[in-house]
């Protein structure tokens, strides 16, 4: 069963006063979709995600980090979370394999935000984009390519962020590495 997959970063020296500098590094390192013809949406929430959004704005893709940051700065606070719902390109199978814009959500949490999940978080969508699906042709090559894209992003972020701790998680709490090993029985042998 498909499960939402994300990475959460805890950063050294992260404060209300420097959180947007850290978020800017994430926004500039993220590989936005070159194929998307859609929109990306910024939402700034105050106090908790259960509250209505304080601010919302959409942009025609491609995303420009400077425009996002300018909008966030107007609504910035230590009790806010800013999330950009955007796209990056991954291999997906419909009737054939295609490089397709795939949803991702990049979030920066203020230190006093109630629903805080670390300092920065990237939601990558469903984990099946990264798990081999043996019923599909060329499944190993395509899953490998998507995993390489994920690892490349994580390595880029490790270079620009002062990472104290990084967690790969799924919404259900299942371990993605274990799911990957289960999907690749020949690797365990």
Pairing between β-strand 4-11 and β-strand 163-170 as defined by DSSP bridges: antiparallel
What pLDDT score was predicted for residue 168? 86
Identify the residue with better confidence: 132 or 10: 10
Rounded to whole angstroms, the Cα distance separating 120 from 41 reads 17
Residue 159 tokens read as 């270079």
Count of alpha carbons within 13 angstroms of residue 77, beta-carbon side = 13
Mean pLDDT of 124-132: 87
Q: Is the pLDDT of residue 182 over 80?
A: no
Report cis status (omega within 30 of 0) of the bond before 62. Answer: yes
Contact 53, 107 (CB under 8 A): no
CB-count burial class (<10 Å; 0-12, 13-18, 19+) for 179: middle
Q: Is the pLDDT of residue 65 over 80?
A: yes
Long-range contacts of range 124-127, CB-CB < 8 Å, 24 or more positions apart?
124/5, 124/6, 124/7, 124/150, 125/4, 125/5, 126/2, 126/3, 126/4, 126/5, 127/2, 127/3, 127/4, 127/5, 127/170, 127/176, 127/179
DSSP-derived secondary structure for 168-179: EEETT---HHHH
Q: Is the pLDDT of residue 77 over 50?
A: yes
φ and ψ at residue 175, rounded to 5 degrees = -80, 120
Lowest mean pLDDT among 46-50, 110-114, 130-134, 141-145: 130-134
Residues 6+ apart with CB under 8 A from 25: 157, 160, 161
Q: Is the pLDDT of residue 163 over 90?
A: yes
φ and ψ at residue 126, rounded to 5 degrees = -80, 145
Percent of all residues in the chain with a pLDDT value above 70, rounded to a whole number: 95
123-134 per-residue burial string, b: 16 or more CB within 10 A, e: under 16: bbbbbbbbbbee
What pLDDT score was predicted for residue 188? 44
Q: Is the pLDDT of residue 52 over 60?
A: yes
| Total tally of structural domains belonging to the chain | 1
Contact 20, 76 (CB under 8 A): yes
Q: Which domain range does residue 142 map to?
A: 4-188
Rounded to whole angstroms, the Cα distance separating 10 from 13 reads 9
């Amino acid at each position: 069963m498909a499960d939402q997959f994300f990475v959460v970063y805890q950063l050294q020296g992260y404060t209300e006063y420097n959180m947007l500098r850290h978020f800017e590094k994430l926004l500039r390192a993220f590989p936005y979709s070159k194929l998307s013809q859609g929109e990306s949406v910024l939402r700034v929430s105050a106090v908790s995600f259960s509250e209505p959004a304080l601010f919302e704005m959409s942009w025609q893709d491609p995303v420009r980090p400077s425009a996002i940051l300018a909008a966030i700065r107007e609504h910035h606070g230590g009790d806010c979370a800013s999330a950009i719902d955007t796209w990056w390109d991954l291999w997906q199978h419909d009737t054939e394999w295609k490089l397709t814009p795939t949803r991702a959500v990049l979030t920066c949490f203020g230190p006093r935000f109630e629903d805080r999940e670390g300092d920065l978080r990237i939601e990558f969508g469903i984990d099946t984009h990264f798990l081999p699906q043996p019923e599909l042709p060329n499944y190993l090559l395509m899953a490998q390519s998507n995993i390489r894209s994920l690892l490349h992003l994580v390595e880029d972020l490790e270079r620009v962020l002062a990472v104290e701790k990084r967690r790969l998680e799924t919404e259900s709490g299942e371990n993605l590495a274990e799911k990957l090993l289960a999907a690749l029985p020949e690797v365990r042998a």
